[in-house]
């Protein structure tokens, strides 16, 4: 197997494992919580969840700090500042100064109905990998526009269907 295929398979397995673990944790927390409230279909428009984002073509902006650069104490990991926007351009999620070990997937916080997952590579030239609601893409496949590293960081913008 080629190294790129091996890395792609490893990333896919990591994303699948993360999704399975998230579901296990979520379901175990749900089982111990109060019984779910039954919601009439007509009342869905009143729920905050349905009004927190506008579906369509969403975007994310990231700043990736090189290892041993940028703010914060996690000097051996990449760190990210991320902004997630909905189809109307409203900020619906993101995080500041998030440390991420190589090949470790993270669910990005936000108001989207599914988790947006991001996985950094091993070295600065490796693309970032993303997954959302059955879609997957990388920062190098044309879905994203990414700048070069300048003073220890690079920035990029990606789009995805949400």
Report pLDDT digits (tens) over 3-37: 554 444 454 444 444 444 434 333 333 333 333 33
Q: Is the pLDDT of residue 42 over 80?
A: no
**122 or 46, which is more confident?**
122
Residue 17 has a pLDDT of 43
Taking alpha carbons only, the member of 57, 54, 53, 59 closest to residue 145 is: 59
Phi/psi region, residue 70 (left: phi>0; alpha: psi -120 to 50; beta: rest), is left
Residue 53 has a pLDDT of 87
Q: Is the pLDDT of residue 56 over 50?
A: yes
pTM tops 0.75:
no
Report pLDDT digits (tens) over 88-130: 999 999 998 889 999 999 999 999 999 999 999 999 999 999 9
The SS3 assignment for 62 reads strand
CA angle 58, 66, 12 (to 5 degrees): 55
85 with 111: CB under 8 angstroms? Answer: no
Cβ atoms within 10 A of the Cβ of 51, count? 10
The chain-wide mean pLDDT, for the chain, equals: 76
- 147 is written with which tokens? 């700048």
Region 36-55 average pLDDT: 49
Rounded Cα gap, residues 152 and 36, in angstroms: 47
Residue 69 has a pLDDT of 80
**69 or 129, which is more confident?**
129
Q: Which residues contact 30 (CB under 8 A, 6 or more apart)?
A: 36
């Amino acid at each position: 197997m080629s190294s790129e295929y091996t890395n792609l398979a490893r990333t896919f397995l990591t994303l699948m494992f993360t999704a399975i673990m998230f579901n296990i944790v979520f379901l175990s927390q749900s089982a111990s919580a109060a019984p779910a409230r039954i919601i009439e279909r007509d009342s869905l428009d009143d729920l905050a969840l349905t009004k927190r984002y506008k579906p369509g073509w969403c975007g994310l902006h990231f700043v990736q700090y090189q290892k041993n650069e940028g703010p914060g104490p996690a000097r051996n990991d990449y760190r990210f500042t991320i902004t997630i926007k909905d189809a109307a351009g409203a900020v619906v999620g993101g995080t500041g100064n998030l440390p991420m070990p190589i090949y470790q997937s993270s669910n990005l916080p936000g108001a989207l109905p599914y988790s947006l997952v991001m996985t950094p590579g091993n070295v600065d030239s490796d693309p970032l990998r993303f997954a959302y609601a059955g879609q997957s893409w990388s920062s190098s496949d044309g879905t994203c526009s990414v700048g070069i590293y300048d003073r220890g960081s690079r920035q990029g913008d990606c789009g995805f269907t949400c």
